[in-house]
A = this chain, B = another copy of it.
Amino acid sequence: MSSTRDIETLIELMARLPGLGPRSARRAVLQLVRKRDLLLTPLARQMQKVAETARECTICGNVGTTEICHICADQRRATGLICVVEDVADLWAMERAGVFKGRYHVLGGTLSALDQVGPEQLRIPDLIARVAEEGATEVILALKATIDGQITAHYIADQLEGRVRLTSLAQGVPVGGELDYLDDGTISAALNARKEI
């Protein structure tokens, strides 16, 4: 044992976070102990607070501290325009861009035959019901460009076909991206979707 039990336990728990392994968890814990008043105590308190209050929005699946998240509750945002994303991280990424002014729908994953994830395990039935209830005019499928993501997008498109306008995010060269570092698929997608200047 390289330190007392309590500290070892804390290291083991920290090592379970994504992006941290045993070594970086040890470094993080030493830093925490060193900055007890500045970091460890506030972090413990904040985690406790979030553990008690965090919940999923009953409409879109976003993580927040209220039954209906601040996006769904925002009257200024367009209703009838729903952006479908895989998980909350994608929703947050869209929000950081700050251009989308509609509502979201978080699926909570993608369909996967391998992992036995069917539509019922995701929030797909909720989405279909929601499109009808809210009288949505457009559904933007902002799913990841992975095979599972695209299968999920096709499945949803099949289900909603004819009921609502269906769109997906444009594929192409990232803004500021260099061709030299891009994969072949992206370059060919960008070329196929080329536009008049």
Contacts and interface: CB of A to CB of B under 8 A. Distances in A.
A46 B40 CA distance: 10
Contacts of A33: 50, 54, 63
A49 to B, nearest CB: 6
A117 to B, nearest CB: 15
B14 A19 contact: no
A49 B123 CA distance: 38
Interface in A28-45: 28-33, 36, 39-45
B24 A65 contact: no
A66 to B, nearest CB: 7
Given A51-B40, A62-B3, A19 B24 contact: yes
Contacts of A26: 89, 92
Nearest to A13: B43
A28 B36 contact: no
A2 B64 CA distance: 10
Interface residues of A, number: 55
A20 to B, nearest CB: 6
A20 B18 CA distance: 10
Contacts of A31: 17-18
A116 interface: no
A50 B39 contact: no
Interface of A: 1-7, 9-10, 13-14, 16-20, 24, 26-33, 36, 39-51, 53-54, 62-66, 69-70, 87-89, 91-92, 95-96
14 contacts: A4-B69, A4-B70, A5-B65, A6-B50, A7-B50, A7-B63, A7-B64, A10-B43, A10-B47, A17-B31, A19-B28, A30-B88, A32-B47, A43-B47
Given A1-B70, A3-B92, 10 more contacts: A2-B92, A6-B46, A7-B50, A7-B63, A10-B50, A13-B43, A19-B24, A33-B54, A36-B54, A45-B48
